[in-house]
Amino acid sequence: MCGIAGMCAFDDRWQAGDAAICAKLKMAGEALRHRGPDGGGIFADRFIAMTHRRLAIIDPKLGAQPMRKTQNGRTGVLVYNGELYNTQELRVELSQKGWSWETASDTEVLLAGLLQDGIVFLEKVNGIFAFAFWDGETLLLARDRLGVKPLFYAMEGDLLFFGSEPKALFACGFKPRMDKTTLCELFALGPAHTPGNGVFKGVCELLPAQWLQKKRDGVRVGCYWRLESKVFTDSERECVAKTSFLLQDAVERQMVSDVPICTFLSGGLDSSLATAIVAKKLREQGRRLATFSFDFKGNDAFYTSNAFQPSRDAPFAREMAAYLQTDHTELECGNADLADLLDDAMVARDLPGMADVDASLLYFCKIVGKQYKVTMTGETADEIFGGYPWFRSEAAFRINAFPWSQDMEIRKTFLRGDVLRELDLNAYAADAYAASIAQTPRLASDTPEEARRREIAWLNLEWFMQTLLSRMDRCSMSACLEARVPFADHRILEYVWNIPWSIKYKNGVEKSVLREAGRGWLPDSVLWRKKSPYPKTYHPAYENLLKERMRDILASPNEPLHTLIDRAKAEAFLDAPADYGKPWFGQLMAAPQRIAYFLQMNAWLRRYF
């Protein structure tokens, strides 16, 4: 996986080859070095300057970028972050049209396809990607269908900045700024963000399946794929069989790599299924899979079962590792490491994020990234198959609000009265919710209950899934590790989206169709295990560390957080007993995570402003 950045302008006074512009491109490349430590390059023409950082996974010797290709008098240049999972089929198709090859890389196949067909070629692609393609007259930016790989952009007059992360835009010369919308995104919606909103003033994120074209006459934006609601006609048996096929095919396609791969194995249904398929494929090749599980020091002593996390992962991960005969490693994160990495996790995302949920993933990825460049995960299965409690809770069906963030008052705990009056967080969240609901792919024959369930499912795809995909990309790539997400295959989403709830939730069991599709792959103890989300620490020492650090900020009048928070409110919150049972976002982010979020906020203000 890689990192890309660049600038484009058709102003005749702007010369992309100027030393000053090339110097900015080098700075952008350095800002993205964590995404690609294996090499880098710059391409500069009159109107375009692009840089690339490479994490070499496919054709390490010949797949360097920026890549240039010429055929039939046309030349294209590509910087690309991603993997194509149907490279071989596309290569054969393009070969039949007269294309020849100099490398074994998917980069060259994508470049040839864009030269051959333009944007239409993306309709044939199965993969994860964000890229910039230049043909001498037009700059084309595009992103994969489900938004696994990020791509940000900003405009200053005719000058377009783009990059894999906002920090690359800033390295190119676009200044980080904030406004009321920035603060509303962070406090009313964060760590989720409005689709397309880059939070920094003037920064946009290309939407999943979206393309942007810049020519002399201006900028055009469009989509090459949309999710559609259709009448489902398969029988339950056909449904299970097709789900099983799609999952196996997605996992096997995503094993493509010229370097060894591993998997994250939590012992839950999703990661266990992906791991089982990978392990079987490697055994057939005479190889043994390496697996990694995550926990926190002291969790065996301080964990207590609750509605959000009914069981610990560790025993089930061990059971799966023994069942699949993998080389298994258990990783544990300590309290100090977790607290110390909050700032690094913020820098990885360029924003306050999911607090210790991010920091712990970053810690684990740093360890795994020392041994492997590619890992497989079970991410996005809950969003696609309806695994979260809000898919079936009465409250989610009644309220007109994001189901994972129902109580806006929790979000106002630390904020000053004048800030709250100025921002109107309730109205901002309500408007964002209503705008998203209006875009739900609908079916005229849906009952009111089915229609509402589609709305909840759509909110999960557009908001919650994007938050988790961003977390996975930025934390893994910050550790030079490519995390693949086989459940985020557009064919799986297209099919599962239209499966009736009676099959998805048969006999009151969440993700029952996926469990049925997994028969024969897993022991029943794991196959039918009740969902337990990503682990978090319950150790009181971690909470105390957070409180100490927040009290240090409150005692220092020069810290930028004082412009936003009420010191008396914050101190009262720190003195009160922590409430782990009332999350303010999702299932994991309760009282300690609220403190951690504001610690990240202070570090963010200090770093960028």
Using only C-alpha atoms, the chain has a radius of gyration, in whole angstroms, of 24
Q: Is the confidence at residue 583, as pLDDT, over 90?
A: no
Q: Which two tokens stand for residue 360?
A: 């712990």
Assess if residue 534 is contained within a domain: no
The answer on 259 and 118 residing in a single domain is no
The answer on 157 and 49 residing in a single domain is yes
What angle, rounded to 10 degrees, do the helices at 335-349 and 465-478 form? 100
Strand extents, DSSP E, 135-176: 139-143, 152-156, 159-163
Neighbours of 374 (CB within 10 A): 23
The DSSP symbol for 263 reads E
How confident is residue 58, by pLDDT bands cut at 50, 70 and 90? Answer: confident
Q: Is the confidence at residue 581, as pLDDT, over 80?
A: no
Q: Is the confidence at residue 487, as pLDDT, over 70?
A: yes
Residue pair 363/338 in contact (Cβ under 8 Å)? The answer is yes
pLDDT value of residue 61: 80
Give the whole-angstrom CA distance, residue 495 versus residue 385: 10
Give the whole-angstrom CA distance, residue 183 versus residue 199: 8
Q: How many domains does the chain have?
A: 3
pLDDT value of residue 590: 87
Q: Is the confidence at residue 46, as pLDDT, over 90?
A: no
Among 223, 253, 275, give the residue marking a domain's end.
223
pLDDT tens for each residue of 303-358: 666 656 666 788 999 999 999 999 999 999 999 999 999 999 999 999 999 999 99
Q: Is the confidence at residue 532, as pLDDT, over 80?
A: no
The answer on 306 and 423 residing in a single domain is yes
pLDDT value of residue 309: 66
Give the whole-angstrom CA distance, residue 486 versus residue 374: 13
How confident is residue 67, by pLDDT bands cut at 50, 70 and 90? Answer: very high
Q: Is the confidence at residue 299, as pLDDT, over 80?
A: no
pLDDT tens for each residue of 94-141: 999 999 999 999 999 999 999 999 999 999 999 999 999 999 999 999
Average pLDDT over residues 160-185: 98
**What φ, ψ does residue 163 adopt, rounded to 5°?**
-175, 160
The answer on 267 and 175 residing in a single domain is no
The answer on 194 and 250 residing in a single domain is no
Give the whole-angstrom CA distance, residue 461 versus residue 144: 14
Q: What is the CATH number of the domain that holds 50?
A: 3.60.20.10
pLDDT value of residue 406: 87
pLDDT value of residue 308: 60
Q: Is the confidence at residue 418, as pLDDT, over 90?
A: yes
Q: Is the confidence at residue 494, as pLDDT, over 80?
A: yes
Assess if residue 8 is contained within a domain: yes
The answer on 398 and 341 residing in a single domain is yes
Average pLDDT over residues 236-262: 97
User: Which residue range forms the structural domain that includes residue 276?
Assistant: 236-527
Poorest-pLDDT segment among 16-20, 289-293, 453-457, 598-602: 16-20
The answer on 127 and 208 residing in a single domain is yes
Q: Is the confidence at residue 384, as pLDDT, over 70?
A: yes
Count the helices and strands in the chain (H runs, E runs): 25, 17
Instruction: State pTM to two decimals.
Output: 0.96
Among 527, 556, 582, give the residue marking a domain's end.
527
- Dihedral Cα 27, 29, 33, 35, nearest 10 deg: 140
Query: In angstroms, what CA-CA distances link 432 with 177, 195, 233, 384, 427?
Result: 22, 9, 34, 21, 9
Q: Is the confidence at residue 240, as pLDDT, over 90?
A: yes
Hey, is 23 helix, strand or coil?
A: helix
Residue pair 487/378 in contact (Cβ under 8 Å)? The answer is yes
Residue pair 39/54 in contact (Cβ under 8 Å)? The answer is yes
The answer on 517 and 597 residing in a single domain is no
pLDDT value of residue 68: 96
Average pLDDT over residues 219-245: 98
Strand extents, DSSP E, 494-536: none
Q: Which two tokens stand for residue 509?
A: 């069991």
How confident is residue 183, by pLDDT bands cut at 50, 70 and 90? Answer: very high
Query: In angstroms, what CA-CA distances link 326 with 263, 293, 320, 347, 415?
Result: 10, 12, 9, 34, 49
Task: Tell me the percentage of the chain whose pLDDT exceeds 90.
Answer: 85
The answer on 145 and 70 residing in a single domain is yes
Q: Is the confidence at residue 234, as pLDDT, over 70?
A: yes
The answer on 358 and 318 residing in a single domain is yes
Q: Is the confidence at residue 179, as pLDDT, over 90?
A: yes
pLDDT value of residue 407: 87
Residue pair 375/263 in contact (Cβ under 8 Å)? The answer is yes
pLDDT value of residue 364: 96
Among 527, 556, 573, give the residue marking a domain's end.
527
Assess if residue 300 is contained within a domain: yes
Hey, is 130 helix, strand or coil?
A: strand
pLDDT value of residue 193: 98
Which residues 6+ apart lie within 8 Å of 165 measured at CB? Answer: 3, 31, 32, 35, 150, 152, 350, 474
Assess if residue 251 is contained within a domain: yes
Which residues 6+ apart lie within 8 Å of 146 measured at CB? Answer: 128, 208, 209, 380, 465, 469, 488, 490, 493
Q: Is 218 left (phi over 0), alpha (psi -120 to 50) or beta?
A: left
Q: Which helix (H) or strand (E) holds 540?
A: helix 540-555
Give the whole-angstrom CA distance, residue 462 versus residue 466: 6
Assess if residue 230 is contained within a domain: no
pLDDT value of residue 254: 97
Which residues 6+ apart lie within 8 Å of 442 measured at CB? Answer: 229, 451, 454
Give the whole-angstrom CA distance, residue 361 versus residue 184: 26
The answer on 272 and 391 residing in a single domain is yes
Which residues 6+ apart lie within 8 Å of 69 measured at CB? Answer: 75, 76, 78, 108, 111, 112, 115
Average pLDDT over residues 246-267: 96
The answer on 186 and 266 residing in a single domain is no
Q: Is the confidence at residue 411, as pLDDT, over 90?
A: yes
Q: What is the CATH number of the domain that holds 401?
A: 3.40.50.620
Residues with catalytic annotation?
2
Assess if residue 53 is contained within a domain: yes
Give the whole-angstrom CA distance, residue 530 versus residue 414: 35
What angle, rounded to 10 degrees, do the helices at 567-575 and 540-555 form? 160
The strand pair at 482-484 and 290-296 is best described as unpaired
